[in-house]
Structure 1
C-alpha cells in the first residue's frame, strides 16, 4: 500500500488550563483527590502524590480510536500513539498502569469515577473543560470529511453534506456526533461501532464521515477505497490533549513538563512515526 506523506501539527502550549472547582475522585483516596483540587497551590496533596505512593496510574482509554488508542483483543493489550506516550509517562514515574476501558459515551463519567488520566485522541472542548483540566496540547486538528475516493467532489462543503439524501456515519458519544448534529441537521445521520465504521464507509453503506483530520489521514493510508476530502482545509480547529483532575495544578504541571520534554527529545516523533510514517513532520510549540 502506498504511504502518503502526513504532516502532524502540535498546538500552541496550554500549560495547565485553569478551571475553578474541585476535581472528581478517581480510584485513589478521595481526600488526596480533593487535596489536588483545592490545595495544590498551597502545598496540599496532589493526585501525583497518591499515584507515586500507590505505584499505580489509572488510565482511561476507549481502545477504539487508532492511531491514538486501539485494543487488540487477540493480544489482550492496547496500542497506539497515546498508549505509547502514557506508558512512557508511567515509566518515568516508576509506576504500573491499570487500564480502564471506556467508551466515548461514558468517557467523562468513567474518568471522574476511576481514573487519574484519560488518553486516546481526546479533543479539548468547553464542556469537558468544565469538569477536567487538560494537559498541554499535543496536536492541532480539525473536522474533515472522508469518503470513497470517487465521491470526493460531492462532499467538499458542509452544505453538500447537510442534505437528506446524504448519509453521514459516526460513532456515538464523541465530538464527531456533536459536530454532525450541529452542522448537518438536514442530513441522514447514523451511528455505528467505531471499530468497524470505516469498513462501512469503504463498502458504500454510508456516504461520508466527518472526523478528525489526524484520523482521516491515517485512514486514507489504510484504506485504498477512501480519500480525505479537504485535509488541509478542515471545517474547524481544535487541539488534542490528555484529561487530568480539575484543580490539581501540581499533577497538571508535572504532566505538562514531561510532555514538553517528550515533544522535543524524539519521544513523540517515535510514537507517531509507527502510524504515520517516518516522514512525519512535527511542529512543536
Structure 2
C-alpha cells in the first residue's frame, strides 16, 4: 500500500511540474508581443499614401502616419496593404483588413457596408485639364470625356454632373493612370481631390484646374472599419484627443503645409 501511495504522489508531482512548465512557456511566449492591425489603402494618393519608388518600397504619407499614431496609442502595430481603391471596402467585408485609411469619404452608400470614424481631414474636388482645352467651368465639360478613379467619391460626382451636363465618364484604378490618359488626350479632363492634384500641378506645367465644389465637407475623409468593429470607438477617442492636443494639426502641416 505504501508503494502504491508513493507512486500516486510521484504522478501528481510530475503532472504539477509539467503544468507549471507549460504555464511558464505560454507566459514567456506572450511577453513583449504586440498585436498587429492590417490597414488597407491605395498607395497612389500622395500625400495621403504613396511610394517613393526611387527611394524604397515603403508606403508613406499622411494616412500612414495617422494610422501609426492612433494604433500606437492603443498598443497596436500596423501592417499596411496596398490594393486598388475599388477593392478597399471588400477587404473589410472579407476580413483581409482591420481598417481602411485611404482618404475615403463616408458616403451613405458606403455606410451600408462599413462603419466610419469621425472626419479627420476635408478637401475639395478639382477638375484638371490641359491649358489649351478651354475648360474652366462645369458647363465647359459638355460632350467631353471625364476620367475618375474607380470607386472614388469623384466617380459619383462625375455621374452627378452628367445629370445636368452631358459628359462621358470613364474610370481607372489608379490616379497616375488618370494623369497619363489626360496627357495622352484620351480624357478631356479628370476629377481628383485638390490636395492630391497639387502634387501633379506642381510638376506638370501644361495642366490647369478649377475647384468643382465649394462644400469641403463633401470630400471629408474618415477611417473605415468592418460593421460593428470595436476599433471604431477606440480610434475615434484617440482621434479626438489628437484634434484637441494639436497632434493632428502637426501631421496636416507636415504633409499638406497648412491649415485644414
Divergent runs of 4+, >4 A: 202-205
How many residues align? The count is 224
Residue equivalent to 2:41: 61
1:203 shift after superposition: 5.2
Sort the Cα spacing of 1:155 and 1:236 in 2 relative to 1 into closer, same or farther, 3 A.
farther
In the superposition, the TM-score normalised over structure 1's length comes to: 0.68
Q: 1:71 aligned to 2:71?
A: no
In the superposition, the TM-score normalised over structure 2's length comes to: 0.74
Residue equivalent to 1:188: 168
Q: 1:99 aligned to 2:77?
A: no
Distance 2:119 2:53 in 1: 29
Distance 1:155 1:80 in 2: 31
Contact 1:144 1:235 in 2 (8 A): no
Residue equivalent to 2:197: 216
Distance 2:125 2:74 in 1: 34
Residue equivalent to 1:244: 225
Sort the Cα spacing of 1:174 and 1:230 in 2 relative to 1 into closer, same or farther, 3 A.
closer
Distance 2:142 2:205 in 1: 26
Q: Using the TM superposition, name which of 229-238 and 113-122 deviates more.
A: 229-238
Sort the Cα spacing of 1:161 and 1:215 in 2 relative to 1 into closer, same or farther, 3 A.
same
Distance 2:192 2:218 in 1: 12
Structure 1 gap ranges (5+): 1-52
Residue equivalent to 2:248: 268
Contact 1:69 1:83 in 2 (8 A): yes
1:265 shift after superposition: 3.0
Deviations 1:102-121 (A, max 9, x none): 21221111122211110011
1:244 shift after superposition: 1.7
Which has the larger share of helix?
2
Point out the structure with max Rg over C-alpha. 2
Distance 1:247 1:95 in 2: 19
Q: Using the TM superposition, name which of 112-121 and 222-231 deviates more.
A: 222-231
Distance 1:212 1:142 in 2: 6
Sort the Cα spacing of 1:267 and 1:148 in 2 relative to 1 into closer, same or farther, 3 A.
farther
Residue equivalent to 1:133: 115
Distance 2:212 2:219 in 1: 14
Sort the Cα spacing of 1:196 and 1:238 in 2 relative to 1 into closer, same or farther, 3 A.
closer
1:76 shift after superposition: 1.7
Residue equivalent to 1:109: 90
1:141 aligned counterpart, secondary structure: coil
Q: Pick one of 76, 98, 104 that aligns with 1:122.
A: 104
